[in-house]
Amino acid sequence: MELETLLLSRIQFAANISFHILFPTITIALGWVLLFFKLRYNRTGEERWMEAYRFWVKIFALSFAMGVVSGITMSFQFGTNWPGFMEKVGNIAGPLLAYEIMTAFFLEAVFLGIMLFGFSRVPNWVHTLATFLVAFGTMMSAFWIIVLNSWMHTPQGFEMIDGVAHATDWSAIIFNPSMPYRFTHMVLASFLTVSFLIAGVSAFRWLIGGRTEGVRVAMKTAIIAAAVLIPVQILVGDMHGLNTKEYQPAKVAAMEGNWETSTGVPLILFAIPDEEARENRFEIGIPKLASFILTHDWNGEVKGLNEFVTEDGEVLHPRVSPVFWSFRVMVGTGLLMLLVSWSATYMIMRRKRGVEGLPKPMLYALIGMSFSGWLATLAGWYTTEIGRQPWLVQGVMTTKEAVADVPAPLVLSTLIAYLLVYAGLLLAYIFVIFYLARKTARGESIGTNIAPSPAAAPKAMPAE
Amino acid sequence: MNYFGDPTIWLPFVFAALMGVSILIYVILDGFDLGVGVLFPFANDDEKDRMIASIGPFWDANETWLVLAVGLLLVAFPSAHGAILTALYLPVAIMLIGLILRGVAFEFRAKAPAPHKHLWNNAFFAGSLMTSLSQGFMLGMYVMGLEWTLAHVGFAILTAVFLTVGYSFIGATWIIHKTSAVLQAKAVEWAKGGIWGLVLGIGAISLATPFVSTRIFDKWFSFPEALYLSPLPILSGLLVVWLWSMLRKMPYAEDRRSWQPFAAATALWITAFGGMAYSFYPYVVPEQITIYEAASAPESLFIILIGTCIVLPTIMGYTVLSYFIFRGKATELRYD
């Protein structure tokens, strides 16, 4: 019974946070992209930048609202499902969460109103400043939450008094060993997600006939940004992995599907990890490559999963399959991103044809990749979060210690309700993005009018 | 005892006060926009658009006060956060789904194709209703000490209805202030029809609280405390009378005094909340855990306090700024 509650609570938390992270992943970077559009407009006075701004600010508003409401859920989940977490490490998690809520959330929530609705009510520079503050606020929000999350992976700067963690060194807590890697990795993931979303939706608009200057400039910006960022992301991801190997070797062992500690470990491309037999089936690997990637030595020693089983048989490493496969989905999606963005950039650059140089199959490929950032980001988070199990805070407390003693049927029924709502909203979200794209492609107003003279503007829909 | 010398005493008190203020600001600010949602079925399509426009620039910031309140509970009184929210598991889940529905309905109703709009209007109403009812239910359960017995649930259902009607009342007074002509006149009627929810809600909780706990009873009905406290119920009574007499004559010529019903409703809310805070202090989980027992370590609270002292005045400042920028009658709301 208790185990069921634990498992269901984990699934519920995973469902809530997975749904939530989709939208910050978009808003963190989209805020900066909007600022870029706005600054280009301020500089050049070209209408096409404002056209791009007008379309994407709506997607921003929509994503932001989804992020806010699903974020509220998160702040309650700690108490409803995981009271043990705050009881034990609340002295450290508390201030970090507080700073997230106070500095960032409010900044966004208040200036967002001015950014979305205030263009004709405030001077232009105030509107630009509001756009900047919203982008900055979203980024700070991400910073504090990543600090807390990283601390859960690589905790330091605290002492345990009577079973409760007390902070001793805040700079050690904030700048914990995995934070810089995780933060950079996440911010880049956000920019890649937004790049592929903008590229995909713009390709869709282009294909159905919405060939405006705004679409052209947004698509080009997005494709080039993706092409530039993806190799950086692969490099940062590699550094993050090396950091994980140092502090959470069990996670890396699960990612690699490596059971025995040995030298010259192969890089496994495909395998079906068997948790019972503690070995891989159908393994296909490249000899010695894992050792080389992780230790930069073809014969380097890499720790295996069997190191993390205590003498009385307690397993202190995560279940292997979910970590192993999430990791491969993330890397695979990343490589696909590299392929698509580089070929698209090549086609744009070739004889300086711009987006006209993109053939139809490439446009379809871009549309198909619209939400590839979501896939890679979720797979990456699953790798790192499931990879931390059975720990909630690495080496300090297990997930099992933190769970609330709520009857399993209650957890299950609310889980089903959440899932139904989330599925509906996700469909509606994607539907509305493409609906807006079709509408603008037909040359219809989508109700956003940033023209400085409201009197001359067509009647807009209220409340947009 | 030197109260200001001992951080394990004054820090929890300061945080309880901050949390109280956040909850109060939340129930007033989100109270009116939830109320506007609850009133949705009584309005026609044009009026719905105008009602949405009257809360559009604010709802998001309003809702963040809930995050701040729950956030403060979470970070300053972690064990209380766990105890309260685990006890209120189901209503919390219903409220969260309600908040999600209404929050996204705001965006979707404006962006989805026209034929889908009524669907999102319904989602907005349903979300507002679920949120209001579950908050009222939680209030009732909290007053009853968070124990699930049949009688307590019955009481909580009553407070759920009262709070929802109370929210619709304060929502109506907001619409009176932000609109004109036919919709304003309609809102006056809604306010008249909803004032009982507020009166009965405050009445029910005021009557029930002292009888749940002898400690609270003694706090109110012993001399000389009763004397000092008497302005609270008297003030509330006067506010209700003032509100009623105002609403009967509304709307005044040239829109005079259109802000006053909302102000009076806010004042009523504050007195009611002050009374509740007085009753429950020093407990954060009624009759079980005090704020001093539940508080985080002083050094952690102190760190949060530094941030709060910088951030809270700023937040207050630009909340006022954003209400100032979007002052006056609600017109069409657009991205310009």
ipTM of the complex model: 0.76
Mean pLDDT lowest for which of A138-142, B55-59, B105-109, B195-199? B55-59
B5 interface with A at CB cutoff 8 Å: no
**Residues B134, B95 contacting (CB under 8 angstroms):** yes
Mean pLDDT lowest for which of A92-106, A249-263, B71-85, B292-306? A92-106
Structure-token match 């192993």, residue found: A324
Q: Give residue A343's pLDDT.
A: 92
Beta bridge mates, A273: A280
Q: Which helix (H) or strand (E) holds A358?
A: none
CA distances from A188 to A139, A228, A236 (A): 12, 11, 9
CB < 8 Å to A98, chain B: 71-72, 75, 304, 307-308
CB pair distance less than 8 Å for B101 and A421: yes
Q: Across the interface, which of B75, B107, B113 has its CB nearest the CB of A97? A: B75
* Residues 6 or more apart whose Cβ sits within 8 Å of residue B34: B102, B128, B131, B132, B167, B171
pTM for this predicted structure: 0.84
CB pair distance less than 8 Å for B72 and A98: yes
Selection from A454, A335, A330 nearest residue A382 by Cα = A330
Phi, psi of A276, deg, nearest 5: -75, -50
CB < 8 Å to A57, chain B: 335
Q: Across the interface, which of B83, B109, B335 has its CB nearest the CB of A117? A: B335
**Residues A402, A392 contacting (CB under 8 angstroms):** yes
Amino acid B75 reads V
Banded pLDDT at B307 (limits 50, 70, 90)? confident
User: What is the mean pLDDT of each successive set of 10 residues along chain A, which is 464 residues long?
Assistant: 78 92 94 93 88 88 84 81 86 86 66 75 85 89 92 92 88 93 95 96 89 88 94 92 88 85 85 82 83 83 84 83 91 94 90 80 92 95 91 89 85 90 90 88 59 30 32
Q: Helix, strand, or coil here: A201?
A: helix
**Residues A101, B71 contacting (CB under 8 angstroms):** yes
- Greater model confidence, B281 or A172: A172
Q: Give residue A463's pLDDT.
A: 33
Q: How distant is the Cα of A311 from the closest Cα of chain B, in angstroms?
A: 35
Give the pLDDT mean for B284-292: 81
Is there a domain that residue A449 lies in? no
In chain A, which among 317-336 make CB contacts under 8 A with chain B? none
Is there a domain that residue A258 lies in? no
For residues B201 and B162, give the distance between their C-alpha atoms in angstroms, rounded to a whole number: 5
* Residues 6 or more apart whose Cβ sits within 8 Å of residue B2: none
B14 interface with A at CB cutoff 8 Å: no
For residues A129 and A125, give the distance between their C-alpha atoms in angstroms, rounded to a whole number: 6
Q: What percent of chain B has pLDDT over 70?
A: 96
Q: Give residue A203's pLDDT.
A: 93
Beta bridge mates, A391: A398
Give the pLDDT mean for B166-180: 85
Q: How distant is the Cα of A296 from the closest Cα of chain B, in angstroms?
A: 42
Q: In which domain, by residue range, is A428 found?
A: 2-245+320-441
Q: Which two tokens stand for residue A87?
A: 């009881």
> What is the count of residue pairs from A and B with beta carbons less than 8 Å apart?
255
Q: Across the interface, which of A65, A79, A432 has its CB nearest the CB of B106? A: A65
Is there a domain that residue A401 lies in? yes
Handedness of CA A339, A341, A342, A344 (dihedral sign): positive
Q: Give residue A30's pLDDT.
A: 95
CA distances from A409 to A4, A6, A8, A421, B77 (A): 9, 12, 9, 18, 28
Q: How distant is the Cα of A431 from the closest Cα of chain B, in angstroms?
A: 9
**Residues B104, B124 contacting (CB under 8 angstroms):** no
Selection from A177, A159, A160 nearest residue A168 by Cα = A159
Amino acid B141 reads M
Banded pLDDT at B213 (limits 50, 70, 90)? confident
For residues B322 and B58, give the distance between their C-alpha atoms in angstroms, rounded to a whole number: 8
Quote the number of domains for chain A. 1
Is there a domain that residue A31 lies in? yes
Is there a domain that residue A147 lies in? yes
B104 interface with A at CB cutoff 8 Å: yes
Is there a domain that residue A380 lies in? yes
Amino acid B73 reads L
Q: Give residue A456's pLDDT.
A: 28
**Residues B74, B288 contacting (CB under 8 angstroms):** no
A110 interface with B at CB cutoff 8 Å: yes
Query: How high is the mean pLDDT of chain B?
Result: 82
Q: What percent of chain B has pLDDT over 90?
A: 5
Q: Which helix (H) or strand (E) holds B333?
A: none
**Residues A71, A100 contacting (CB under 8 angstroms):** no
Phi, psi of A296, deg, nearest 5: 60, 30
CB pair distance less than 8 Å for A91 and B311: no
Q: Across A149-158, B47-56, B200-209, which has the greatest mean pLDDT?
A: A149-158
Is there a domain that residue A271 lies in? no
A157 interface with B at CB cutoff 8 Å: no
B42 interface with A at CB cutoff 8 Å: no
Q: Which helix (H) or strand (E) holds A440?
A: helix A408-441
A98 interface with B at CB cutoff 8 Å: yes
pLDDT greater than 60 at residue B302: yes
CB pair distance less than 8 Å for B326 and A463: no
A137 interface with B at CB cutoff 8 Å: no
CB pair distance less than 8 Å for B315 and A446: no
CB pair distance less than 8 Å for B52 and A463: yes
For residues B202 and B217, give the distance between their C-alpha atoms in angstroms, rounded to a whole number: 16
Q: Across the interface, which of A93, A113, A120 has its CB nearest the CB of B57? A: A113
Q: How distant is the Cα of B220 from the closest Cα of chain A, in angstroms?
A: 32
Q: Which two tokens stand for residue B77?
A: 């009184």
For residues B186 and B192, give the distance between their C-alpha atoms in angstroms, rounded to a whole number: 10
* Residues 6 or more apart whose Cβ sits within 8 Å of residue A419: A15
Q: How distant is the Cα of B194 from the closest Cα of chain A, in angstroms?
A: 26
pLDDT greater than 90 at residue B318: no
In chain A, which among 371-400 make CB contacts under 8 A with chain B? none
Q: Helix, strand, or coil here: A165?
A: strand
Is there a domain that residue A280 lies in? no
Q: Give residue A29's pLDDT.
A: 94
Q: B307 to chain A: nearest residue by CA?
A: A99
* Residues 6 or more apart whose Cβ sits within 8 Å of residue A276: none
- Which tens digits make up the pLDDT trace of B12-42? 888 888 888 888 888 888 888 898 889 888 8
